[in-house]
Amino acid sequence: MDIKKIRRDFPALCKKWNGKYLSILITMHDLKPKPVIDAMNEYYTEYPVCGGRSIHKMAKKWMRKLRNQERNQ
């Protein structure tokens, strides 16, 4: 297990609190990896819509992106 790589994937684990790193095992259920945080930020800044229920351009753009992601998995 590469602890340094895990810390890089979880930004909150890179910070020291009272001079110590957080325990990975204690905090994992509350943390999100960086790719998830990035995807959430992209969604809230670029596509703040209800994709499946709206018919405007932004919603359609979000649905296209979501379908492309599903195809690539």
19-49 pLDDT tens trace? 877 766 565 567 788 888 888 898 888 877 7
pLDDT of residue 27: 58
Element (H, E) at 20: strand 20-21
Query: pLDDT category, 55, cuts 50, 70, 90?
Result: confident
- Burial bucket for residue 50 (CB in 10 Å: 0-12, 13-18, 19+): exposed
3-state DSSP: the chain helix, strand, coil percent, rounded to 5?
A: 65, 5, 30
pLDDT of residue 24: 61
* Structure token pair of residue 30: 């509350």
The bridge status of strand 16-17 relative to strand 20-21 is antiparallel
pLDDT of residue 26: 60
